[in-house]
Amino acid sequence: MSFSNNPIIPTEPPPPSVLDANAAASARSRRRRANRREMFPADAEGQAALISALSRRAYPSIELFVFSLVCGAIIGLGFLLDSQAVLLLGILITPLMTPWVGFLLAILTGAPRFLFETLMALFVSAVIVFIGGLLTGFAARLFLPMTLSNVFIHARLWIPELVVLAIGAITLVASFAQSENKPVLPSVVIAYAFYLPINAGGFGLGSGVAGIWPQGILVFAVHFTLASIFGLLTLFAIKLRPTARGIIFSGVTLVLFAGVLFILMGSGFPSPTQVIAATSLPLPTLTAEQTIIPSPTPSLTATTTSKPAPSKTPTISLTASTTSTDGTITSTAAITSTATNTIVSPSATPSTPTATISTTMTNEPQLISGKVSASEGGGANLRQTPNGKYLMTLDNGTIVEIFSDFKQVNGVAWIHVVVTRNGQLVEGWLLESVVSYATPEPNFNPSVTPTTGVTPAP
C-alpha cells in the first residue's frame, strides 16, 4: 500500500447560496408555526386536551389555604406596624394564584362543577386572609391612637395600581398557558391586588377605625372584577375557543363584571382617587338667645319752693360690659338717667328716676369652614384633645367647621373643629397644617373684653 506524496490541502466549504438561506428561514418559520399549533391546537380534540391539562394544573390544592393563613397574619402585622417591609414579606409568601386562572378556564369551558370548586377555593382563601386582618385589628385597639397610613392607602383605588393589575392579569394567564413553569412574578402582582385590600378591610373592622371598612372589601371587588375581565380576554386572544356553554358563561360573566365595575366605580362607592367620596355636610346651625329684663324703678317726690329758679339738668350714663367664658358671651348694659327740675309754683321736684336694663345674650362661637387636605395617608386623624385620644380618621375633602380657639403642643398648632358623621356632630382637634380654609383664614388671636361708657352732653 502506498501513499501519495502530494500534500492534502483542506479547502473552505462553498458559501451557501441565497436559495439555501431562504430555505433555512422558511424551515425555521415552519417549525415555529408547528410549535404554536402544537401548543394551541386548532382542532376540537387538541383544544379539549390542552384545556384539560391547564385545568389540572390550576386545580386548587392545600397549599392555597396554608399560604393564605401565613400571609394573612404577616400582612395584618404589617398594617399594625405600618411597615411596608413587613407587607412586602407577606406578599412574597402568598400562594400561587393559579386557582384564579382555573376559575377563568371554568368560565371559558362552561363547567359548573369546576367553576364552583375554584370559586369556593378563592373565597375560602380570601376569608382566611380577612380573618388575619380582623385579629390584628382587634390587637390594634390596645395601641390606638397610632399611625395607619398603609391601611388607608390599600383601602383606596389608585389609577397606577389598576394599570399594573391589568398587566399582571394578562401576563399571568398568557405565561400559565404557554409554559409549564410556575408564573411566580405575575402571581405576586395578582396576590398584591387581591389580598392587601381584603386584609385592610378586616383590619378596619377589627380596629373600629372609620374609613377602612368596608372600603377595603369594595377595592378588592373592583380589583377582582377588572383582573377577571382582562384574564378572560387574554384566553380569547391566545385562541382558546370556548364551548357553546362556555360562550353563554363568558357572556353572562362579562356583563356581570361590567355592571359591578359601573356600580362600584361609576356610581361613587370607590373612585380612582378615593373609595368613598366626601359628601357635602350640612353646616351646624348657630342659635342666639337673648333675654332682656327691664327693671325700671321710678320714684317721684314733690317739693314746693318760694324761689322762681327753674333749672333742668338731665344726666344719662350708659355702661356696657361683655364677658366671654367657655364660648358663652354675656353682655350687661346699665342705663341710668337722672333729672332734677325746680319750678316756682306749683313746684314738683322729682327724685332721681333710675332705669336699669340687664341683657344676657348667649351665642355659640362663630365657626368658619375648612377642608381636610393632608399631604400623606389620604386623610387626617381627629383626636379628643390636642395630640390626645384618637377618635376617627377624616378623609381628604371632608368639610369641617373650625372654632376660633387653638392650642400649641410641643410647638405644633392644633385647631378645634366639629364635623358631622352619620347625622351626629363630632367635636375634636386636628393639626392646623392638614386643614385648608374654604373661607378667609381665621384669626386665632385671643378675644378682647370691651367695656364702653357713653355720657351724652346735655
Tell me whether residue 5 is in a domain.
no
Q: Give yes or no: residues 195 and 207 share one domain.
A: yes
Q: Give yes or no: residues 360 and 372 share one domain.
A: no
Q: Name which of 214, 213, 268, 256 is nearest 232 in CA terms.
A: 256
H helices of 238-281, where? 244-261
Query: What pLDDT shows up at residue 128?
Result: 96
Q: Give yes or no: residues 245 and 300 share one domain.
A: no
CA 75 – CA 129 distance, rounded (Å): 8
Q: Is the separation of the CB atoms in 200 and 155 below 8 Å?
A: yes
Whole domain around residue 395: which residue ranges?
368-437
Per-residue pLDDT tens digits of the chain, which is 458 residues long: 555 565 555 555 555 554 566 666 666 666 555 544 455 566 667 777 888 888 899 999 999 999 999 999 999 999 999 999 999 999 999 999 999 999 999 999 888 999 999 999 999 999 999 999 999 999 999 988 888 889 999 999 999 999 999 999 999 999 998 888 889 999 999 999 999 999 999 999 999 988 899 899 999 999 999 999 999 999 999 888 888 888 998 999 999 998 888 888 754 444 444 433 333 333 333 333 444 444 444 444 444 444 444 444 455 444 444 444 444 444 444 444 444 444 444 444 444 444 444 444 445 556 788 888 887 767 888 888 888 888 888 888 888 888 877 788 877 888 898 888 877 888 898 888 888 876 556 665 544 433 334 434 44
All three cell numbers of 82, joined, read: 405600618
CA 43 – CA 366 distance, rounded (Å): 79
CA 376 – CA 360 distance, rounded (Å): 46
Question: Exposed, middle or buried by CB within 10 Å (0-12, 13-18, 19+), for 52?
Answer: exposed
Q: Name which of 295, 357, 354 is nearest 331 in CA terms.
A: 357
Query: What pLDDT shows up at residue 165?
Result: 95
Q: Give yes or no: residues 41 and 85 share one domain.
A: yes
Q: Give yes or no: residues 315 and 185 share one domain.
A: no
Q: Give yes or no: residues 194 and 138 share one domain.
A: yes
Tell me whether residue 232 is in a domain.
yes
Tell me whether residue 3 is in a domain.
no
Q: Give yes or no: residues 114 and 143 share one domain.
A: yes
Last residue of a domain, one of 209, 236, 266: 266
Q: Give yes or no: residues 374 and 324 share one domain.
A: no
Q: Give yes or no: residues 255 and 172 share one domain.
A: yes
Tell me whether residue 182 is in a domain.
yes
CATH number reported for the structural domain that contains residue 412 in this entry = 2.30.30.40
Q: Give yes or no: residues 293 and 183 share one domain.
A: no
Last residue of a domain, one of 213, 234, 266: 266
Tell me whether residue 453 is in a domain.
no
Tell me whether residue 357 is in a domain.
yes
Q: Give yes or no: residues 103 and 192 share one domain.
A: yes
Q: Give yes or no: residues 44 and 192 share one domain.
A: yes
Number of separate domains in the chain: 3
